[in-house]
Each structure stands twice: as structure tokens, then as C-alpha cells.
Structure 1
Amino acid sequence: MKSTKRRLAFRFTFQFIIFSILAVIICGLLILNVSDYLTKEEIKRNFTIGTLDTIISETTVTDDEVWIHSSWEELLAERNMWLQVINEEGKVIHSIHAPSDLPDSYTLQEIMKINETKRYLHYKIFSSIDTYYQMPYLYFLGYESKSDDLLLEWVNTYQDVTQLSDDELEQLTAQVKAKNGRLDIIDEQGMVVKSIGNGATTEEGRMNYTPVGIVAHRQGLSNERAEVSVYYDTETNYTWILKSDRGEVTIYGSFLREIIAVLFVAAAIILLLGILFTVWHATRYGQPLLLFITWLEKLGQGNYQEVLNAMQDKKVLNRKGKVRSKYKLYEEVITAFKEMAGKLKQSEEEREQLDTTREAWMTGISHDLRTPLSSIQGYGHMLESDHYEWTATELREIGATIREKGEYMLQLVEDFSLAFQLKNSSLPLKREEIKLDEFLQHTVLALVNDVTIKNVNFSFENAADEPIYYAADVHWFERMLLNLLLNAVKHNPEGTEIVVTIDKDESRIYIKIEDDGIGMDEETQRFLFERYYRGINTSEKVDGTGLGMSIAKGIVEAHGGDITVQSKQLQGTTLTLRFPV
């Protein structure tokens, strides 16, 4: 009793600790979500290469079918941008907010020019290639921008900025302010030689540009919220940088309120979980009893498999197959239930298997004996009738037919009995150690000397180059080999070559029976060792009982081995037998 109390106290304390850890994890997840949200908001302020890489990482492409989360569509629309996904052939397979004057496919020259100039028509384009898939995909992220063209026009018009007249300077200043922007002209050292427009710096307040900073502006990797256009004039060695306002984009808005709301919801959730935990903890140890009552009812109704399935349910067992902690006190009861249900289920299956085997046995016998018995009965009626006069030769032929049918039925009954024993693993084996290679060679030699087998070439090879010993039942092992070899003779044309090879390694003995005959289709291979597949029609046109291959497989398995078949039509067949050393 004290032990039970200690276990209960331990479990209550342990579960409380687990719940506390869970609360910490939930808070951690919320913090991560807030961090992720801040990251996305930061992307809004610098929606260029970094954003394009993020889109690529979150995009899924399957057989040129592209899936992109709808939130990106909203964000692109907010920034008046468009996106195209292009396959390796230059075809656009997906687009978001793409203008109608953009093509449905791009040539190599167009892609190379876009990559070099970052322009197409009046659009500014940022590109990146996704090499995650077997086929690369090219992404274009662009927006309408006339700033580059305008900047080039200014460079050509006001090339020597140090010699501008007052009128030219006033005119250029008006044009820059019309763009609601600022123009900085930089010399080779990165110093601003001229600053025009909104927020233009004075001589004292001018800040120099670094080479990497200028490249970052050109590549769209700066933190500027404005649209940045860069042009390098090779004649004057001046770099012109135009920063034009792209309009206000609400980034933070009620973001602080959202954070407060999220934290409030998190606190409410944790409080609710605490209440639910208290209620759940009070009823937890009664639930297993209700589960056991349900299992008892199902056992009483004979639904043994349902009980076994319920015991394998995730509610009872964890991934490792062990009883979950909330059922740990009842582990012995669950184990007893499982054993009892398993035994009852096994008993039911054995009874059903016995009924099925008996039915198959009777069906097989009645089917396979009907045709030869009909022949014997027919000849009996003819002999009994007074309408026929028989010569001695005809009587001998009728007698021979009746004898053959009788022998066939006797063989059939013996094969049925053997198949039944093999299926139920009740065939007694008298195993003795033999030289298996010599045994195979003698069996093959017996078929070579069989006068009833004509125009078939047999050969034997011991690939191990040493004697191979194996404990086998000589009688049944020979029966198995003859079934396999005669099957190869029966179902192949004259002139077929049959090769029997034996080999071994450290753990197994291998016997291969190969022929260069007509081969088999896939269906024949699949059902080759099934009962009645060959012998389901026992008319006079079919020789044999149809159980030979099934019996051969049963004998192999009775010796602890296995057998497989490999074949292609018109390319021969290979049977491989494997036995443990």
C-alpha cells in the first residue's frame, strides 16, 4: 500500500514537472513566432535579394507545379511588385501579379541581358536561381521603375556636374524633387561631390560612400526604404546614385498591440491549460478502468482482434512499443489482457484455418478426381452396353486407359496427402548427412539415362570445387529435385539445355536449376508455387496433378530453405534454392 502511495505521489509530481516544462516550451514557441514575425517585417523594409531568397526557400515545385504561400501575394501586392518562376527551358511556369507586357518565356539572350542590366523594358528585376531540385529554376522579382532611365537621361544631359550653371542646377533640382528623391554624385574616392534634392547634405554634413556600399546599392542589398538607382559614368568616373521615394508602406502600425495581444492570449492559454490539467488529473486514473471494461465487453462478443488492435493504439503504447506513463500502474493488467486476447485469437484462427483447409481439401479432391472418374465411368458404360463389339486390341486400349486413370487418381490422392502434410508442417523427415553434390549429380545422371526423356541436354557443375555435405531426407529431397527438373522438361521444347549448379558460402548452400527454354510471364512466376495453378484443369490434355511445384516448395521449406524463380519469356528460367549450412 505504501509502495502504491509512493508511486502515485511520484507520478503526480512528475506530471506537474512535465506540465511546467510544457508551459516553458509554449512560451518559447511564442517567442520564436514573434521573432519570426519581426523578421518578416524587416523583410518588408528591404524587399530585394534577401526577400527573394526567402521566397525561394518557402516555395515548393513539383513537375513544374509551383506552390507559394498566399501571404507572399499580399506582400508583393503591397509593394507593387511581381514575381515570375522560370524553368530551365526559359518558360514561365508561375507568376504573381505579372504585368501583361511581360513574356511567357525568355530566350537565353534576354535572360543574360536581364542578369547583367537588371532591367527589362521599364521594370527593375532582381533574379536568383534555385538549385535545390534536379532541374534549376530561375526567379524574377521586379517592379516598374523609370528611375534608371531618368538617371541615364540626367547623366547625358548634365554630364559635368561641377560646371553646371545656375539654371541647369535649378532645373535638375526641380526634376529630382519631382521624384521626391535625392541625387548624390560621387567621385572615385567615394566622396559626394554633389547632393541635390530632398534631404541633400551640405558640404559639412556629407557622408562618403564605400565601394562595397555602392555595390550593395546596385545589387539591391541596402537597407534603404527608397528605390535606389545607380549609374557609373565611365567618361567622368562619377557614380550617380538616385534615391527616390516609393511611397509609404505601413510596416509596424499596430504591431505593438499585436505583440501585447499575443502575450495576453499566451497567458490565457496557459491559465486555461492549468485548469484543464487539474480537471484532467482528477479523472485520469479512472479512464483506464473504463478502457478495461470496454475490452472485456469486446472479448465477450468474440472481437479478439479489436482488443489486440486497441492495445497497439497510440493512446496505450508509445513509439517504442512500451506502455505509456498514464497506464503504467496497470501494465500487468494490460499484459494479461494482451496474452488472453492473443490466445483466444490464435484459437479462433486455428479453427478457421482447419475449416478452410478441410474445405479446400474436399474441393480439390472432388475437382481433380471428377475428370478421370468420368472417363472410367464412360468406358464402363460402353463395355456394359450390348451395342458394341470389341476387338482384343480395343479392349487392351480401354484397359490401359482405365489403368492410367486409376494410377493418375492414386498419384493425385498421394500428392494431396503430401501437400496437406507440408502445408501443416506435419511431414516427418528422416535427415541424414549426405554428399549433396554427388547426390545432385546422380539425380541428374538418372534423368540423362531416362529413355522417356528425349532431346533434352542435362549438365551438372559443382562451383564450390569441394565436397558439400548437408543433412537431408534423401527420399523427399530426391522427390523435390525430380519435380523441379521434370517441370523444366515438360514445359520446354525439344533441344532445351538444363544446367544444375551447386555452390556454398559461409552461411548457405545454393542450388540453381537453369534452362534456356521459353521462360514465363510475370503472372506464371507469381503463382508458380501455388496449388492448382497448373493443375486446375485435369482434363486428358494436362499431364500431372498440378501440385508438383507446390510440393517441391513445401519440401524445400521443410528443410529450412527457400526457393525463388527468375524468368523472362523466350529467355529461359532460373530456380534458386537456398539452404542453411
Structure 2
Amino acid sequence: MNINYRMMFQFLTQFILNFIATFLIVVLLIILAMHLITKDELKSNPQKAIVENLPYSSYIGGDGQVELNDSWKSTLSEHQMWVQIIDGTGEVIYAFNTPDHFQRIYTMNDLLAIEKTNQLGNYTVDTYFETGKPQPYYYLFGYIDKQQQLLTDWYDSYSDAGIVRNDRKEDLEKEVSKHEGMLEIYQDGKLVEKIGENLPTPTKMLDVVGSIHVPGNYETKAYVVNDNTANSAWVYHELNDAFKSPSIRFFSNRELQTFALVLLISMVILVVLSIWNGYRYGKPLLLFMNWLKIVEQKQYEDVLSGKEHQKIYKKNGKVKFRYRLYKEVFETFSNMSEKLSLAEQERKQLERTREEWMAGISHDLRTPLSSIQGYGHLLESGQYDYTREELQQIGQVIRDKSDYMVDLVNDFSLIFQLKNSAIAIQKERIDMNAFIHDLVVKYQDDFTLNSHLISFERSDERCEVEIDPKWFIRVLDNLLSNAMKHNPPRTKVHVKVVCKQHTTMIMIMDNGKGMDETFVDHLFTRYYRGTSTDERTEGEGLGMSIAYAIVKLHGGSIEVQSEVGKGTTVVIKL
């Protein structure tokens, strides 16, 4: 997988994981918020909280089996409430904490009566109709509201047409005082009488309704008996233990708590993700910056080596997980540093080669120039009277040295032409056996070379190869000249042609003094002359490099095998 797909996969995976994590956190926060809301409602108005939240926590299976959490059972018992769940046929499929005498099947009239009066016997009943299940269910929550029942009993005992009976007023005052409450009596919407403690009561009409529905927000809790016939209402107030002041409610408000919790968790998640992203994506960038500084200082070998290598790679050579996203980048940096290191080495080698070139060129030009200059001074001085033969000899030396210098300059030009592939070769189909045999015969007939023994061995098969004879003869001349020029007298030089399938090999073998490995490695380097300074021969610096370039131009290869004291073998493959 390349870095593009890995980056895409990495960020897609990160997005999915972040989405899952966010989703789970939101779900947990919703559950927590519901828990906080339910807990707060259970304190301020437990009956209402149970009615509104218990149905969501109950599970009704397809077979009608009901499962209710034990905590809800404890809550029902704590607040002396019971629950019945009724299915579509009116049958009670589940009941908890109900009296033994309660009915197990309800008729339509029973349910409508409960819905209208919110009463079942002595119990106040709150209802909840569930439509979220596969089929509807009806929940009945019953409890005895003692204070409401107390107020109803007072009304029945002490009222006459909605007004307190005069003969029972003193008894009612004692009852109200005993319960440390306050009774307000309204007639035709106006307050006509107040009995009991002077408690802080709601001043607005809706506050009275609020103290009934949300008692936790008011100092007193209200209970009401309304008589439509007498157009009167009795409102009984008592101190509310669940009341919280507005300032306390502000800090303990469930919505505020939930918001603060969500904000805190979100900040924690953002901080964690920022640290993780900074560590995962920032640390490799710091490594890259450090490597660029190393590269700027040309310390290429220090990139991804030593400690840097241990930071990124395991002992088994694999990239560590936190750096795996940038695997290709590390490999590219490593390859780049290796190439830059090689380029720097080549640059230094080229610098040394250039110096060797300059030294070689100076040597090859200085020697003939010295001869020409010396003879020029002699002729210019007029100190001697030269015979005709001596002048011819001086002229011959000057001409030979000049020809040599011309040939050397031509070799320089040829080297650059070969380097830039500016030489156009004209190939012909040549019989290599005959071609090389003619060349060897020329060397055998040269009496100046009779101190060396040269022989030729032709191939058993006919060898026809496409070459440019003008250029290829120069290759063989260079190789044969070197074999004789750089070896002592009586050295045997053997030239052999071998044809195998589609390959033709030309081998030039001698039993001379040979060369060491270092010299062989640099044999085709222009102007490389080895470490011996007392055996420098004019022109030897360019011959092998020219031969190598011409063979390459023909699509062939040239190899040298040599050992000091055992001779040298040069193999050309075409």
C-alpha cells in the first residue's frame, strides 16, 4: 500500500474511530443526563419522576414478560408506590407492590373512571400510555397522598358550602397548627380566610399551580380541594423539604451540570486528540527537519543511522507503528541520502581524476615540448655548426615530437566525443578470424617488436560480427601495444577468437608481470597510472579509456583479469 492510500486509510480510520468515540460519549452523556434529571426529579417530585421515567427503564418481551430494574423496585417501595402494566385486553401483565385485593383485569369503564378521577379506591393514580413498544401498554402508578387525604378529610369535616363552620373553626385551627401548615380558603376566586402558620406562600396565581407540579422550586408545597358547586377552593401549604434557593438551583441545575460535563469531557477529548496527533504527526516532522539539517551539512551517512535508525525501526528491521504512516518517506530519505553520499564521493573522485588528468596532460605535453624547446635553443644560439645530417636528425626529432603532440590532442578530442556519443560508427559485417589474423601478422612482421612472442588462435567456427573496422582496429592496437610496451622482453602474447552461439569473444593473454587489483579496478579511468612514478610512459593515460569507450559504443563489454607475476588476460565480448 503506497503512502497515498495509507494516508487516506489512516485519516478514514481516525474519522471512524472519532465518530464511534463521539457517539459513545454522547450516548453515555445522554444516559448520565437522564440519570441526573431523574435523580433531581425524584428529590423534588418523586411521584412525577417515577411516572415519567420508569416506563423507559422497563422491558416488555414479545411473550408479554416484563423485566424491571431492581433500583426502580427499591424506589417504588421507598415512596410507597405500586405499579400495574395493562395490555390491550385489559389484563394486568405485571404488578409490583400492589395490594392483594387489587383486580387483575380492568374493563373499559374502569379505565375511563381512573383516567377521569385519578383515583382507585383510596389511592391517587397517575397513568402513562406507552406507544413505543410493538403494542400499546397502559401503566397505573398508585400511591396514598396522606396530605391530600388529610385536606380532603378536613374539607368534609369542617366545611359548610365551602366555608369553615363556625362551631368547628377552633378544632380546624388546632389541626392545622398541629401539622405546622397553613390553610387558605378561596370563595369566588377571592381569599376569604387564612388559618395556621404564616408561611411564605406563592403570590402569583401560576405559582400555586407550580408549587403543585414542581414543588422543588418553591418553599411550600400546596394541596388543593376544589368544590365547583360552592365555587370554593381550600389550599393547604406546608414547608417543602426538597426546596432549593435560586442560587443553589443555578449551580445544581441539571441542564447546567450536563452542559458543564459535556464541555469538560469535550475539552479533555480535544486535548488528548491534540497531544496524540501532535505526537503522531509532529514527531516525524521534527525528524525530517533534523535530517534536512544533516543533509545541509553534507553528513549524509548520519541520516537514518545509529540513534536515528533505532528511533524508527524495530530490531527485526520493521518500522515502528507510530512511524508506519511515513514508511515510504523514510525509505525515500534513506535512498536520497545514499545517492547524495555516492554523488559526493563521485564528486571527490572526479576532483581527484581532474587533478590526475591535469598532471597526466602536463607530463605528456611537457616531455615533447622540452625536446622541441631544447633543440630550438641550440639552433637559436648559433654556437655550433651543424652538418646536414645533424640538422636532418634535429628536424626529425622536432617533427616526431610535434606529431606526437598532435596525436595527443586528437586523443583528447576523441575522448570527449566518445563521452558525449558524438562519434558516428559505420558498421560492416566482418570475419573476425581474418580481421584479427591480419592485425597479428602485422605485429609479427614488425622487427622492432621481435623481443616479444606473439601468436594467434582462430575460432573453429566462422565468426562474422558487425563492427566499424576503422575504430575497432584502434581498440586492438591499444591492447596489443600495452601488452608489449608494459611487459619485459620474451613475454608471450597470445590472441584468441572464440565464437559461442551469438557471442564472440576476443582474448588477449600474456604471461608478463601482471597488475594488482587496485590497478585493474582503475585501468579504464582516464589518466590513472597507478602508484609507480618511475615507470611513466608517454600517452599511456588515454589508451585504455578510449578502447573501453569504443567497445561500449559497439554494444560490447571489456573485462580484465590480472595477477601480479602471472600475467594479464583482456576479454572483449561482442
TM-score normalised over the length of structure 1: 0.43
Question: Which structure's CA Rg is the greater one?
Answer: 2
TM-score normalised over the length of structure 2: 0.44
